[in-house]
């Protein structure tokens, strides 16, 4: 009889501790904060990268070269825009977008590959983030990829930087 009472009491205490811990968890996790590094100089529209990434970086499909033009009805100027590098725990993500007809038509991202685990996560997450990028005009509308919250946060921060430059 005592064992059953202790089992019930232990279960109740454990459940209340778990619920208390979950309710006490802050929603703004400082581990998901991303720092942007703005480049110096005029970077509102820049030519597409040469296709080669710096050592330890991987790029997705390189964007096509487009000259800068006036902003059409879509609100974005035509051209290629490089977002600021967004640093996170495992390196930096840098997004380059190409805009044509006021819409994002191509997205390119460089990301860290040094750590094998991070490289595997990034290789799965970046294509999903890129696909979402082609359908939005705000980084807030890009969903976080499950299992890649840090990569997603860095990608979205750099993407928003590039979108801001395309609006300017």
Cβ proximity of 68 and 44 under 8 Å = yes
State residue 117's pLDDT score: 87
Phi, psi of 70 (to 5 degrees): -70, 155
Give the CATH number of the domain where residue 47 resides.
Answer: 3.90.1010
The pLDDT tens digits along the chain (168 residues) read 888 888 888 888 887 777 766 665 444 444 555 666 665 544 444 444 444 444 555 555 555 555 554 545 567 899 999 999 999 988 999 999 999 988 899 999 999 888 888 889 999 999 999 999 988 878 888 989 999 999 999 999 999 999 999 985
Neighbouring-strand partners of residue 35: 87
Residue 11 lies in a domain: no
> Could you list the residue range(s) of the whole structural domain that residue 72 is in?
30-167
Residue 22 lies in a domain: no
How many domains does the chain contain in total? 1
Report CA-CA distances (Å) from 163 to 24, 96, 103, 158: 36, 9, 10, 9
Q: What is the pTM (predicted TM-score) of this model?
A: 0.61
Residue 19 lies in a domain: no
Residue 21 lies in a domain: no
């Amino acid at each position: 009889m005592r064992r059953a009472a202790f089992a019930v009491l232990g279960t109740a205490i454990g459940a209340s501790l778990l619920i208390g811990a979950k309710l006490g968890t802050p929603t703004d996790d400082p581990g998901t904060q991303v720092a942007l590094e703005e480049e110096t100089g005029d970077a509102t529209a820049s030519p597409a990268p040469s296709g080669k990434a710096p050592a330890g970086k991987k790029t997705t499909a390189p964007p096509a070269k487009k000259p800068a033009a006036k902003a059409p009805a879509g609100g974005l100027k035509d051209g290629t825009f490089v977002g600021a590098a967004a640093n996170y725990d495992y390196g930096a993500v840098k997004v380059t977008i190409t805009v044509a007809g006021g819409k994002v038509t191509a997205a390119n991202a460089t990301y860290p590959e040094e750590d094998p685990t991070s490289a595997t996560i990034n290789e799965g997450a970046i294509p999903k983030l890129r696909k979402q990028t082609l359908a939005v005009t705000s980084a807030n509308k890009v969903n976080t990829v499950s299992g890649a919250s840090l990569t997603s946060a860095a990608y979205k921060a750099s993407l928003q930087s590039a979108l801001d430059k395309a609006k300017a």
